[in-house]
């Protein structure tokens, strides 16, 4: 009895931590959105100004020495490219933030008809871009294999996307980590697959990363268990993912893993027609 109470108290504490974490990230995401919009809008405005400038230069072509003319053209082209990069990356940051907002405060537990392939694809690439933005020069091949024509199914979209994002983030992290140790010969690869059979949706994400030791396998779903350095992992991802798949969608989450070879997570969800 005492032990049970203790366990329950611990679970409660973790739930509280989770809830405040969710609120915190929603708050931060919200606050970052505004300054980010400024960055994007001013870059777009500057792009227009550059266009005006180019026109003025063109109108006065005959008054400028050829050398200067060439230099101005080069500078303007570079500036234009820089502005485009600022807009592109700013917009990506906005979409990541919108993902966080969606995840942390979307309507709770609402089942909606959704295109599974669309959700999987979107969050796989969101995770990929986040990885690329954080580790300049690193690349991983993503092998996609989506069964076409999977009918729309009732799911909790923001939860399902969160599950895909968690699995994909873990896969990205492990291939990146392995590449840091092994260098050139190692070819980081993540394979994503969806299928629909026996009235079940199946999604798998396989990486050729480090694999999991037996200790990690045992503690995988424990809240706050992480092998990542401080600041890089909270250790909540897998617990949340399993809760989403098994409790919220009545599905199954399984995995196969081998140290030095990689890991494949697979989840199935019984299909609910809209």
- Strand 141-146 and strand 153-155: the pairing is unpaired
Q: Are 97 and 26 in contact (CB under 8 A)?
A: no
Residue 113's φ and ψ, nearest 5 degrees, are -70, 130
- Rule CB under 6 A: is residue 263 a binding residue for ligand ATP? yes
Residue 227, contacted partner among ligand ATP, Mg ion, none, CB below 5-8 A by kind: ligand ATP
* CB nearer ligand ATP, residue 38 or residue 224: 224
Q: Are 145 and 193 in contact (CB under 8 A)?
A: yes
Q: What angle, rounded to 10 degrees, do the helices at 66-105 and 157-182 form?
A: 120
Query: Taking the complex as a whole, how short is the minimal distance between the CB of residue 150 and ligand ATP, in angstroms?
Result: 24
| Per-position x/- string for 185-224, each x denoting binding to ligand ATP as judged by CB under 6 A, each - no binding | ----------------------x-xx-x---x---x----
* CB nearer ligand ATP, residue 51 or residue 228: 228
Distance of CA 63 to the CA centre of its chain: 52
| Per-position x/- string for 235-254, each x denoting binding to ligand ATP as judged by CB under 6 A, each - no binding | xxxx----------------
- Strand 141-146 and strand 189-197: the pairing is parallel
- Which residues inside 47-86 make contact with Mg ion, applying CB under 5 A? none
Q: How far apart are CA 182 and CA 180, in angstroms?
A: 6
List 43, 104, 170, 204, residue binding ligand ATP (CB under 6 A): 170
Length of the chain as a residue count:
274
- Rule CB under 5 A: is residue 174 a binding residue for Mg ion? no
Q: Are 225 and 219 in contact (CB under 8 A)?
A: yes
* CB nearer ligand ATP, residue 171 or residue 271: 171
- Which residues inside 226-245 make contact with Mg ion, applying CB under 5 A? 237
Q: Which residues of the shown chain bind Mg ion in the complex (CB under 5 A)?
A: 170, 237
């Amino acid at each position: 009895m005492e032990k049970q109470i203790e366990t329950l108290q611990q679970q409660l504490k973790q739930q509280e931590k989770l809830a405040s974490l969710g609120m915190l990230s929603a708050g931060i995401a919200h606050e970052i959105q505004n300054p980010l919009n400024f960055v994007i809008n001013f870059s777009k405005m500057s792009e227009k100004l550059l266009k005006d400038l180019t026109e003025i230069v063109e109108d006065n072509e005959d008054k400028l020495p050829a050398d200067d003319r060439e230099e101005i053209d080069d500078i303007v082209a570079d500036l234009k490219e820089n502005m485009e990069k600022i807009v592109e990356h700013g917009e990506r940051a906005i979409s990541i933030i919108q993902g966080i907002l969606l995840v942390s405060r979307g309507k709770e537990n609402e089942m909606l008809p959704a295109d599974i392939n669309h959700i999987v694809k979107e969050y796989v690439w969101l995770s990929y871009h986040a990885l690329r933005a954080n580790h300049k020069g690193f690349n991983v091949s993503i092998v996609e294999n989506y069964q076409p024509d999977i009918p729309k199914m009732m799911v909790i979209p923001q939860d399902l996307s969160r599950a895909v994002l968690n699995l994909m983030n873990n896969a990205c992290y492990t291939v990146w980590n392995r590449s840091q140790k092994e260098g050139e010969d190692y070819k980081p690869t993540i394979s994503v697959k969806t299928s629909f059979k026996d009235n079940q949706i199946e999604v798998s994400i396989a990486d050729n990363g480090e694999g999991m030791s037996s200790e990690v396998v045992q503690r995988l779903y424990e809240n706050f268990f992480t092998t990542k350095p401080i600041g890089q992992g909270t250790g909540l991802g897998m617990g949340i993912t399993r809760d989403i798949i098994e409790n919220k969608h009545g599905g199954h989450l399984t995995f196969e893993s081998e140290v030095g070879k990689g890991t494949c997570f697979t989840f199935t969800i019984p299909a609910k027609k809209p």
